[in-house]
Structure 1
């Protein structure tokens, strides 16, 4: 399988939107390429994030998550034994900030699950009639 475009010094593979993605970073930018057609081995540049104005220097990217289809959280590791960083960027390529993760104090886990607001009421959120405040919720009955 061919790799996307020009490879930088550091390349990471990951899954994004249930597709293979390649994250290529150098000192100036992070490029996120997504496999569009597996048979034809066609990659498409999805995001480019400018790093010229950022202060943390990092060696490689281990994890990435897409939030609300408009923001990226990127877990980066530093070249030395220094701290790791969680970068916050938008999908237009704008760097929004970062959070320093000191070794041994924080653990970062990205999962495929996320919360989504809904206007549909759930059964355990409905108000009970006839003094519902004094009654046990239905999921406590039988305990």
Structure 2
């Protein structure tokens, strides 16, 4: 989607690899707040949690090129929920105001929009703060979720360290990232065995490079 075109503001679609100009498909006022939000691709549809509304998920069907709403779970606290794909359905994660508990809600029945809390993970706050010598009055971190094989793994950004915490709340691994200002996003690169025709057309394409989609 693009936000503007000469003389017309709205939503646009441009197929991957196409040399055609973006095609206008309409406009929704709520789309304005999505410019910096992360979407989750599930069942050929893009999903955004509407932060201003906090009651709905906006869905864009890439096949019919149409928008619709889904009911969202009640998100506790003031955290910004993250969306991710889990076993072919929608997952939503959030944390409490104290950033000590991560709750993961999963849509059990996608079509009827029926979901439930699948995980409530208590973070090993004391262990993390002791290990990395954090004695400040306030505790904060960035949280991301990886899913696979019916389970989840939390990625935590804490003072330049990338931490892995399992669904039981156990700290299983830590990586020193040189105290860089890390940002955890829900986007994941997926390697493809298909040699897409548009890759060689890219100026920066290297013939020996692995194709990623």
Q: Output the TM-score relative to the length of structure 1.
A: 0.53
User: What's the counterpart of residue 78 of structure 2?
Assistant: 9
User: Whose Rg is larger?
Assistant: 1
Relative contact order (C-alpha < 8 Å, sep 6+): which is higher?
Answer: 1
- Distance (Å, rounded) in 2 between the aligned partners of 1:67 and 1:38: 18
Please identify, of 92-101 and 3-12, the stretch whose mean Cα deviation from structure 2 is larger.
Answer: 92-101
Instruction: Count how many residue pairs are aligned between Structure 1 and Structure 2.
Output: 106
User: Shift in Å at residue 43 of structure 1?
Assistant: 1.5
Q: Say which of 65, 70, 74 aligns to 2:155.
A: 74
SS in 2 for 1:7: coil
- Distance (Å, rounded) in 2 between the aligned partners of 1:34 and 1:75: 20
1:49-86 Cα deviation digits (max 9, x unpaired): 1124343744543x42236655514254x6xxx63x43
- Distance (Å, rounded) in 2 between the aligned partners of 1:89 and 1:104: 20
User: What's the counterpart of residue 64 of structure 1?
Assistant: 145
Q: Over aligned residue pairs, what C-alpha RMSD do you find?
A: 3.4
User: Shift in Å at residue 87 of structure 1?
Assistant: 2.9
- Distance (Å, rounded) in 1 between the aligned partners of 2:140 and 2:71: 26
1:89-111 Cα deviation digits (max 9, x unpaired): 22233343543533279x99844
- Distance (Å, rounded) in 1 between the aligned partners of 2:152 and 2:71: 28
User: What's the counterpart of residue 118 of structure 1?
Assistant: none
- Distance (Å, rounded) in 2 between the aligned partners of 1:58 and 1:30: 13
Listed as ranges, the gaps of 5+ residues in structure 1 are: 114-143
1:7-57 Cα deviation digits (max 9, x unpaired): 332211111222111011122201111111123321122222112434374
Q: Output the TM-score relative to the length of structure 2.
A: 0.39
